[in-house]
Chain A
Amino acid sequence: EIVLTQSPGTLSLSPGERATLSCRASQTVYSTYLAWFQQKPGQAPRLLIYGASGRATGIPVRFSGSGSGTDFTLTISRLEPEDSAVYYCQQFASTPLTFGGGTKVEIK
């Protein structure tokens, strides 16, 4: 099973600042199979990034993904108040599909 470790656990930043979220895999994940999700309280996860760097439909350009191998990053270039949420990475490379533990982004 591929274990995904996300850091930091919580990120507290001001509007307009840049957020950098990390996802580290326990073994190599081909970038095609790495995704990021955003989840707000009481809602289902929403796909942000697929294939490590592709933006899903309707996702603002301030969200970007990068990385390869075992290290992946989600960057929010300029935080907006509505970006307050928990962000999860997820791999599709092998079964069982697995999710990271999440990074909570708080807007000051």
Chain B
Amino acid sequence: DVQLVESGGGLVQPGGSLRLSCTASGFTFNSHWMHWVRQDPVKGLLWVSRINDDGGSTRYADFVKGRFTVSRDNSKNTLYLQMNSVRVDDTAIYYCVRRGNIAGHYYLDVWGKGTTVTVSS
């Protein structure tokens, strides 16, 4: 069964740090680019970051640039999101998402259940 399981969410104070993990199973992890997408009731679904298959290329949304770092350990089938200097508006459900590709069609085809991050004092 193809599966993504996030962990590491929780309550963190403004200015603090948190590391999210996403463990993949049921597919060849090192063949897929991976993304983080977050969702909150006000702003909806927002793309956060992506990393290519070997970890050598990353991109970030402007609102997390310089604060968040995406990485992966292909030997452990695990994706990470290091969140530093968190702000109240980083409060959201964070989803780990796989990028699929068929004949040049790119799509976010597998989503984890999400992990909730709450930033509050």
Contacts and interface: CB of A to CB of B under 8 A. Distances in A.
B44 A56 contact: no
Contact of B61 (A44, A54, A96): A96
Interface residues on B, range: 20 to 34
A96 B47 contact: yes
Nearest to A50: B107
B109 A47 contact: yes
Interface string B4-43: 0000000000000000000000000000000100000000
Interface in A12-55: 32-33, 35, 37, 43-47, 50-51, 54
B95 A32 contact: no
B113 interface: yes
B46 interface: yes
Contacts of A45: 45, 95, 108, 111
Q: Report which residue of A45, A56, A90 has the largest number of chain B beta carbons within 10 angstroms of its beta carbon.
A: A45
B79 to A, nearest CB: 15
B76 interface: no
CB-CB nearest 10 A-B residue pairs: A50-B107, A51-B105, A44-B111, A99-B45, A97-B47, A92-B106, A35-B107, A96-B61, A47-B109, A50-B105
Given A45-B95, A95-B59, 16 more contacts: A32-B104, A44-B112, A44-B113, A44-B114, A45-B108, A47-B107, A50-B109, A51-B105, A90-B45, A92-B107, A95-B50, A96-B47, A96-B61, A98-B47, A99-B44, A99-B46
